């Protein structure tokens, strides 16, 4: 039954995608982030829904009159350079078959991110995209939060099987990254019952993050809290809220959770921590030996482990357990410099919007959005230090949201934008006098 429902939703929406290609981005993000077909346990589990949606979206985009010019912003340029370098390193990969497979998967991620930059041509479309991303992943946090409360936090929270976020560490990171999006949506909502519902969803997601038993996610949560406290204008309230939440954790979580978190202090005897240290040292040695690194999957083979592990104990193949060392091992020092440059450029997109739009009451929505996206980036950069998700599609899609936020802000400040009527692509220049003219949804309108 679930299979039929998912098939009906996807193929029922495809005609709408043909008429309005930007809807294909929303549908693709829903399938890619939530992976509803992985929860069907039937014939739909292995059906390539994402490929079908992507193909229809791309073909429809070619004939569409409603789209942005391809942006030439710094994150986009660096991402393209990073991709070209990944192609080069694949040619010299230690594991050619694995490298080609991973390159194809990464190419699909980058391609759809770039297409979203072209098709999300209205600020209101961007808000819809934020809703889809938030609830596609937030679904597992809301469900997991209720389950954790009912079971006293005695069971781990897991993500959809066969996806980027299947493991407890991965779903913990993903939930941390969408948590600020729920706060943003609640901030801009004037209808009390929806606002409260969004804050309740955020609280349940927070419970789920704790219930993943992920030490990396806990570190990310602490870093997020510190960042919010530093940036907050109400530091006392933020500090008290943190104390209340800490008290809840102390009172609610079972002893097994505290035992798991306590192992972060004993990294010398913790096998997982020692495995990370070995992998990080291997990553550096591979990059030092080869300017291009070892290509995708450089750390997954037994031969590489035996050559670079500097230990007589050969246990099993390993991954980098860090976004930074993952890129270092696979793409060398040039690759990690491009990766860090991409992150810095993405951060600057949000900072630019906050600085230039801060004085405009009409642009408070986009300012709040960029602030929350930077909080999401803090979660990714801190938790990712202990997790190998350098090519996580959620991160790149959120960077695309930042780039689009800057584009729309620049249009508003310059008085340039697309007319709101459908089918017209010619830019016009005029004086913008109200939020309604910008295309940004009023705070009380929700999805309307």
In a domain, 126, yes or no: yes
Place of tokens 């990171």: 173
3 state DSSP class of 429: strand
> Could you tell me if residue 316 is inside a domain?
no
Instruction: Let me know if residue 283 belongs to a domain.
Output: no
Q: Which of 145, 108, 165, 128 is nearest to 23 (CA)?
A: 128
For residues 389 and 324, the answer to whether their CB atoms sit within 8 Å is no
Do 83 and 58 fall within a single domain? no
Residues 137 and 178 sit within 8 Å (Cβ to Cβ) = yes
Same domain, 32 and 140: no
The pLDDT tens digits of the residues spanning 104-129 come to: 999 999 999 999 999 998 899 999 99
**Dist CA 29 CA 9 (whole Å):** 14
Q: Examine residue 37 and state whether it is found in any structural domain, yes or no.
A: yes
Statement to judge: residues 332 and 218 lie in one domain: yes
| Tens-digit pLDDT profile for residues 184-205 | 999 888 899 999 999 999 999 9
The answer to whether residues 121 and 132 belong to one domain is yes
- Examine residue 299 and state whether it is found in any structural domain, yes or no: no
In a domain, 360, yes or no: yes
pLDDT at 437: 42
Domain contains 446: no
Phi, psi of 417 (to 5 degrees): -165, 170
Tell me which H or E stretch contains 417. Answer: strand 416-417
Give the Cα separation of 29 and 40 in Å (integer): 18
Give the closest residue to 374 by CA, choosing from 169, 189, 177, 115.
177
**Residue 351 burial by CB count (10 A; 0-12/13-18/19+): exposed, middle or buried?**
middle
What is the domain extent for residue 23?
A: 1-64
Task: Tell whether the model's pLDDT for residue 90 goes beyond 50.
Answer: yes
Residues 48 and 73 placed together within one structural domain of the fold? no
Q: What confidence category does residue 388 fall into, taking pLDDT thresholds of 50, 70 and 90?
A: confident
In this structure, are 48 and 74 located in the same domain?
no
DSSP state, residue 428: E
Q: How many domains does the chain have?
A: 2
Other CB atoms within 10 Å distance of the CB of residue 188: 22
Last residue of a domain, one of 34, 64, 94: 64
Range of lowest pLDDT (312-316, 396-400, 420-424) = 420-424
Beta strands in 191-277 (DSSP E): none
Looking at the fold, whether 187 and 85 belong to one and the same domain comes out as yes
Q: Which residue, of 47, 64, 81, is where some domain finishes?
A: 64
pLDDT band at 88 (very low <50, low <70, confident <90, very high): very high
Q: Which of 35, 64, 93 is the last residue of a domain?
A: 64
| Top-ranked range on mean pLDDT: pick from 223-232, 280-289, 340-349 | 340-349
By C-alpha distance, which of 218, 194, 273 is closest to 448? 194
Let me know the angle formed at the C-alpha of 34 by 29 and 36, rounded to the nearest 5 degrees: 115
Structure pTM?
A: 0.88
List 428's β-bridge partners, or say none: 417
- Does a structural domain hold residue 293? no
Residues 287, 328: contact at Cβ < 8 Å? yes
Tokens of 319: 């991954």
- Model confidence over 24-71: pLDDT tens digits? 999 999 999 998 888 877 778 888 899 999 999 999 998 888 777 888
Placement of tokens 């393209």 in the chain: 80
What pLDDT was estimated at residue 301?
76
Q: Which of 73-87, 137-151, 298-312 has the lowest mean pLDDT?
A: 298-312
């Amino acid at each position: 039954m679930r299979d039929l429902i998912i098939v009906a939703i996807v193929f029922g929406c495809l005609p709408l995608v043909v008429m309005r290609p930007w809807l294909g981005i929303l549908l693709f993000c829903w399938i890619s982030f939530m992976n509803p077909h992985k929860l069907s346990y039937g014939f739909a589990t292995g059906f390539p829904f994402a490929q079908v949606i992507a193909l229809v979206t791309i073909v429809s985009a070619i004939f569409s009159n409603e789209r942005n010019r391809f942006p030439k912003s710094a994150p986009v340029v660096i991402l393209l350079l990073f991709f070209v370098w990944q192609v080069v390193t694949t040619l010299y990969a230690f594991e050619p078959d694995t490298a080609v497979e991973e390159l194809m998967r990464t190419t699909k991620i980058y391609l759809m991110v770039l297409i979203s930059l072209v098709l999300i041509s209205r600020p209101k479309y961007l808000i819809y995209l934020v809703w889809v991303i938030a609830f596609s992943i937030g679904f597992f946090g809301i469900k997991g939060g209720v389950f954790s409360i009912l079971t006293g936090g005695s069971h781990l929270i897991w993500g959809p099987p066969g996806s980027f976020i299947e493991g407890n560490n991965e779903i913990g990171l993903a939930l941390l990254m969408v948590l600020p999006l729920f706060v943003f949506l609640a901030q801009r909502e004037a209808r009390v019952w929806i606002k409260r519902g969004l804050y309740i969803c955020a609280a349940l997601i927070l419970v789920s993050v704790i219930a993943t038993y992920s030490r990396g996610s806990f570190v990310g949560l602490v870093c997020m809290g510190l960042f919010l406290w530093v940036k907050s204008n109400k530091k006392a309230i933020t500090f008290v809220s943190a104390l209340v939440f800490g008290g809840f954790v102390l009172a609610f979580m079972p002893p097994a959770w505290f035992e798991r978190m306590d192992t972060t202090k004993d990294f010398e005897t913790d096998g997982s921590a020692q495995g990370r240290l070995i992998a990080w040292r291997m990553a550096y040695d591979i990059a030092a030996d080869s300017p291009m690194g070892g290509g995708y999957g450089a750390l997954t083979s037994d031969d590489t482990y035996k050559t670079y592990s500097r230990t007589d104990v050969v246990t099993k193949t390993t991954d980098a357990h860090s976004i930074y060392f993952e890129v270092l091992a696979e793409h060398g020092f040039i690759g990690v410099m491009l990766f860090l440059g991409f992150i810095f450029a993405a951060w600057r997109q949000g900072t630019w919007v906050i600085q230039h739009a801060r004085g405009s009451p009409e642009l408070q929505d986009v300012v709040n959005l960029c602030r929350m996206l930077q909080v999401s980036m803090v979660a990714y950069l801190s938790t990712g230090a202990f997790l190998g998700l350098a090519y996580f599609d959620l991160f790149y899609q959120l960077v695309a949201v930042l780039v689009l936020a800057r584009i729309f802000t620049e249009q508003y400040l310059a008085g340039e934008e697309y007319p709101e009527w459908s089918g017209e692509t010619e830019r016009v220049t005029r004086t913008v006098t109200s939020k309604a003219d910008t295309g940004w949804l009023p705070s009380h309108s929700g999805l309307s």
